[in-house]
Amino acid sequence: MESIKVGIINVTGYIGIDLARLLHQHPGVSLVSVTGRSAAGEKLGKVFPHMAGVDLDITAELGNVDVAFSALPHAASAEAVARTLEQDIKVIDISADFRLNDIPTYEEWYKVTHPAPELLGEAIYGLPEINRSEIAKARLIANPGCYPTSAILALAPALSEGLIDPDIIVDSKSGLSGAGRALTMTTHFAETNESTSAYALGGHRHMPEIRQELQKLSEDQEVSITFVPHLVPMTRGMLSSCYAGLRKEISEEEVRALYRDFYRDEPFVQVLDNPPQTKHTLGSNLCLIYPAIHPHTRRLIVISCIDNLVKGGAGQAVQNMNLMLGLPETMGLEQKAIYP
């Protein structure tokens, strides 16, 4: 049987090149086309030496493929996605262009007019643990943001069961790769090494995405999110600490059992008996979750760890592709975390 051909629009960003790494060794597809205008005409292995031996040229335009991943920035990605869908190619969009259901909300947070609002109605939010059946039938997937992935997976069981109050705090720490490859003063080594900083306290673009998806899981409550992201001096990794008041009397053991039952059939979510560390997910597609109850305040605390470039980006995109193509969901994604 002829292999399924896949391509990456804008391979030169961190998630783009991590997609290339994962897709190159994927047994069910063939990576045949990668684009990147700034590096067009170069060999992929020359621009990224760790991909040496991969015989692919970086081109300006996408070649003949069955599935495309768009790793362009917002707005530019929507334009490319619209053109690609016209060619009867399934698309997984890594940008934020199709994550938010409401156009005014998107335009308020991303400060651009949406380039393809007519596609919002068919885009499926690509969190497999919540939307698996819809993803399998879709031709356009909005791959979730890294912060939303960690927060939504941490809180979905509690909200779905009506266990917590709707006023939720999400405190997240991310490695610097989450800011992308472009050098800025806030991501310069000398500014970030041996330093941790909070940012976007007035509102981060991922906040409305987190709220939108958690609201869908909360039938009788209006969800309110206080979201504070932080940069920490590491390359990869994300840890979210989520806090909410309990609505009912429940033991910590019962909470953990509830979480395990909710995720019992999920290959990439593990509920732990001890708090996870970002090192435990490095390079893997896992989300590690630890729910607990504070003994004095009786608040639910949920710790969630992912690799922001894998489950928070490229790995989740491949997981979505597997579902769209009817392949085993774990195919090409079963590598263990790198430790230490």
Per-residue model confidence as pLDDT tens digits over 132-142: 999 999 999 99
Instruction: Judge whether 287 counts as a catalytic residue.
Output: no
Question: Does one domain contain both 139 and 12?
Answer: yes
**CATH number of the CATH domain containing 68:** 3.40.50.720
- SS3 for the chain is CCCEEEEEECCCCHHHHHHHHHHHCCCCEEEEEEECHHHCCCEHHHHCHHHCCCCCEEECCCCCCCEEEECCCCCHHHHHHHHHHCCCCEEEECCCCCCCCCHHHHHHHHCCCCCCHHHCCCCEECCHHHHHHHHHCCCEEECCCHHHHHHHHHHHHHHHCCCECCEEEEEEEECHHHHCCCCCHHHCHHHHCCCCEECCCCCCCCHHHHHHHHHHHCCCCCCEEEEEEEECCCCCCEEEEEEEEECCCCCHHHHHHHHHHHCCCCCCEEECCCCCCHHHHCCCCCEEEEEEECCCCCEEEEEEEECCCCCCCHHHHHHHHHHHHCCCCCCCCCCCCCCC
Question: Does one domain contain both 233 and 221?
Answer: yes
∠282-299-218 over CA atoms, to 5°?
A: 80
339 touches 280 (CB < 8 A): yes
Q: What is the pLDDT of residue 186?
A: 84
∠267-331-155 over CA atoms, to 5°?
A: 30
Position 340 in a domain:
no
Position 171 in a domain:
yes
Res. 180: pLDDT tops 60: yes
What is the tens place of the pLDDT at every residue in 199-236? 999 999 999 999 999 999 997 889 999 999 999 999 99
Q: What is the pLDDT of residue 221?
A: 86
Position 46 in a domain:
yes
Question: Does one domain contain both 102 and 191?
Answer: no
User: Could you give the CA distance from residue 71 to residue 4 in angstroms, rounded to a whole number?
Assistant: 20
Question: Does one domain contain both 302 and 168?
Answer: yes
**CATH number of the CATH domain containing 218:** 3.30.360.10
Position 44 in a domain:
yes
Position 333 in a domain:
no
What is the tens place of the pLDDT at every residue in 137-169? 999 999 999 999 999 999 999 999 999 999 999
Q: What is the mean pLDDT of residues 16-33?
A: 98
**In the predicted model, what is the mean pLDDT of the chain?**
96
Kindly report the pTM of this predicted structure: 0.97
Cα separation values, 196 from 9, 190, 260, Å: 33, 12, 33
Question: Does one domain contain both 151 and 177?
Answer: yes
How large a percentage of the chain has pLDDT more than 70? Answer: 100
Question: Does one domain contain both 193 and 85?
Answer: no
101 touches 117 (CB < 8 A): no
Question: Does one domain contain both 178 and 286?
Answer: yes
Instruction: Categorize the per-residue pLDDT at 67 as very low, low, confident or very high, splitting at 50, 70 and 90.
Output: very high
Which of 66, 136, 85 lies closest to 324, judged by CA? 136
Q: What is the mean pLDDT of residues 239-261?
A: 97
Position 254 in a domain:
yes
Q: What is the mean pLDDT of residues 78-91?
A: 98
Q: What is the mean pLDDT of residues 85-95?
A: 98
Would you state the structure tokens that stand for residue 103, as one six-digit string? Answer: 């156009």
How large a percentage of the chain has pLDDT more than 90? Answer: 93
- For the chain, the straight-line distance linking the first and the last C-alpha, in angstroms and rounded, comes to 40
What is the tens place of the pLDDT at every residue in 182-195? 878 888 899 999 99
Instruction: Categorize the per-residue pLDDT at 38 as very low, low, confident or very high, splitting at 50, 70 and 90.
Output: confident
Q: What is the pLDDT of residue 316?
A: 98
Question: Does one domain contain both 181 and 106?
Answer: no
Res. 2: pLDDT tops 90: no
Res. 297: pLDDT tops 80: yes
Q: What is the mean pLDDT of residues 229-254?
A: 97
Number of domains in the chain: 2
Question: Does one domain contain both 184 and 104?
Answer: no
Instruction: Categorize the per-residue pLDDT at 95 as very low, low, confident or very high, splitting at 50, 70 and 90.
Output: very high
Question: Does one domain contain both 68 and 191?
Answer: no
**AA identity, residue 83:** R
Residue with tokens 């708090």: 275
Question: Does one domain contain both 299 and 157?
Answer: yes
Position 337 in a domain:
no
Q: What is the mean pLDDT of residues 23-44?
A: 96
Question: Does one domain contain both 72 and 121?
Answer: yes
Q: What is the pLDDT of residue 1?
A: 55
**AA identity, residue 114:** H
Q: Which domain covers residue 155, as residue numbers?
A: 147-306
Position 338 in a domain:
no
